[in-house]
Amino acid sequence: MRKQIVAGNWKMNNDLAETQELLSHIKMQLVKKPEAEVMVAPSFTNLYSTFEALKDTPIKVAAQNMHQSKSGAFTGEISASMLKSIGVTTVILGHSERRAHFHETNDILAEKVNTAIENDMEVIFCFGEELQDRKSDKHFEVVEKQLKESLYQISEDAWSKVILAYEPVWAIGTGETASPEQAQEMHAFIRKNIAENFNEEIAENVSILYGGSVKPNNAKEIFAKKDVDGGLIGGASLKATDFIALVNSF
The DSSP bridge pattern shows strands 5-9 and 37-41 to be parallel
Burial of residue 66, with CB atoms counted within 10 A of its CB: 0-12 exposed, 13-18 middle, 19 or more buried? buried
Angstrom distance (rounded) from CA 142 to CA 134: 9
159 labelled ligand-binding: no
Listed in sequence order, the residues at least 6 apart from 140 whose beta carbon sits closer than 8 Å to its beta carbon are 186, 189
- As measured in angstroms, the least distance from the Cβ of 198 to ligand PEP is 25
> Dihedral of CA 70/41/140/206: which sign?
positive
User: Helix 16-29 to helix 240-247 angle, to the nearest 10 degrees?
Assistant: 40
Nearer to ligand PEP, 4 or 9 (CB): 9
User: Helix 180-197 to helix 139-150 angle, to the nearest 10 degrees?
Assistant: 40
Nearer to ligand PEP, 98 or 191 (CB): 98
User: In this structure, which amino acid lies at residue 125?
Assistant: F
87 labelled ligand-binding: no
Angstrom distance (rounded) from CA 228 to CA 225: 5
Choice among 37, 97, 104, 167 that is catalytic: 167
53, 74 contact by CB (below 8 A): no
Whether 21 sits among the annotated catalytic residues: the reply is: no
- As measured in angstroms, the least distance from the Cβ of 175 to ligand PEP is 8
Nearer to ligand PEP, 121 or 231 (CB): 231
Choice among 95, 104, 139, 187 that is catalytic: 95
235 labelled ligand-binding: yes
234 labelled ligand-binding: yes
Helix or strand (DSSP H, E) at 208? strand 207-210
Nearer to ligand PEP, 58 or 173 (CB): 173
**Interaction site with ligand PEP (CB under 6 A):** 9, 167, 172-173, 211-214, 232-236
Among all residues, whose Cβ is closest to ligand PEP?
Answer: 234
211 labelled ligand-binding: no
Whether 167 sits among the annotated catalytic residues: the reply is: yes
Listed in sequence order, the residues at least 6 apart from 202 whose beta carbon sits closer than 8 Å to its beta carbon are 156, 159, 194, 195
Nearer to ligand PEP, 222 or 233 (CB): 233
Residue numbers in the known binding site for substrate are 9-11, 173, 213, 234-235
Active-site positions read 95, 167
Residue numbers in the known binding site are 9-11, 173, 213, 234-235
